[in-house]
């Protein structure tokens, strides 16, 4: 299939399933990248469905800027990125409900849940960057180097921010007499 991207999109907009599959496979690395970042089951399916909607809605005939491959790829990649941001916000805002039954989980587990809720409250007190770095390093077990690459800042800046966040958490815990 050596056709250019413009004709493949036109064919897929007219219902050609083979062209749509070809487009999905062509953009699979980008879809997988954002699905990994979303980090929930079904994220790749959500992004593929969004990708199909993007292809169906792309104004390829009416927009004269979308005649060359690089403009089309830019349009699609930006659309997928914006969909990732939207899904990320929706997924982080959804509150997971827990059914707590003391007879099943016991008193020790209740203390762990209380500690977990208190820790979330403490993390909410931190500035956004400090909170993000603490979550990435301690909860997602990412290295400082990979966090630095994701945030496009130096390794030293990540480490300093992490230390500042830990100092702020310690200060908050001592002030609230948690220890």
Domain locations in the chain as residue ranges: 5-93, 112-175
What is the full DSSP assignment across 135-166? IIIIIS---HHHHHHHHTS-HHHHHHHHHHHH
Predicted pLDDT at 164: 94
Residue 97: the pLDDT is 44
pLDDT, tens digit, 9 for 90 and up, residues 77-104 = 999 999 988 888 877 665 444 444 545 5
- Start-end of H helices in 5-136: 5-13, 17-26, 28-38, 43-57, 69-93, 102-125, 128-134
- The parts of the chain modelled with pLDDT lower than 50 are 1-2, 95-100, 102
Q: Are 35 and 47 in contact (CB under 8 A)?
A: yes
The C-alpha atoms of residue 116 and residue 140 are separated, in whole angstroms, by: 15
- Using a cut of 0.95, tell me whether the model's pTM lies above it: no
Q: How far apart are the C-alpha atoms of 75 and 59, rounded to whole Å? A: 10
pLDDT of residue 18: 92
What's the confidence (pLDDT) of residue 108?
Answer: 53
The answer to whether the CB of 67 falls within 8 A of the CB of 6 is yes
Q: Give Cα separations from 41 to 54, 137, 145 (angstroms).
A: 21, 22, 26
Instruction: State residue 155's pLDDT score.
Output: 93
The CATH class for the domain spanning 112-175 reads mainly alpha
How much is the pLDDT for 141?
A: 87
- Residue 124 CB: number of other CB atoms within 10 A? 8
What angle (nearest 5°) sits at the alpha carbon of residue 160, between those of residues 168 and 145? 125
Tens-digit pLDDT profile for residues 121-135: 888 888 999 999 988
């Amino acid at each position: 299939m050596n056709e250019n991207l413009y004709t493949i999109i036109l064919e897929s907009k007219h219902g050609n399933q083979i062209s749509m599959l070809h487009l999905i496979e062509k953009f699979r690395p980008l879809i997988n990248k954002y699905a990994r970042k979303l980090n929930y089951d079904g994220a790749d399916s959500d992004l593929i469905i969004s990708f199909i909607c993007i292809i169906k809605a792309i104004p390829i005939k009416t927009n004269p800027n979308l005649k060359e491959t690089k403009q089309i790829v830019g349009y699609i990649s930006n659309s997928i990125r914006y969909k990732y941001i939207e899904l990320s916000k929706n997924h982080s805002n959804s509150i997971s409900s827990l059914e707590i039954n003391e007879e099943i989980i016991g008193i020790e587990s209740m203390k762990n849940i209380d500690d977990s809720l208190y820790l979330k409250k403490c993390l909410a007190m931190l500035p956004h960057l400090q909170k993000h770095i603490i979550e990435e390093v301690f909860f997602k077990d990412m290295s400082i180097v990979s966090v630095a690459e994701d945030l496009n800042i130096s390794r030293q800046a990540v480490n300093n921010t992490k230390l500042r966040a830990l100092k702020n958490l310690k200060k908050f815990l001592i002030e609230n007499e948690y220890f």
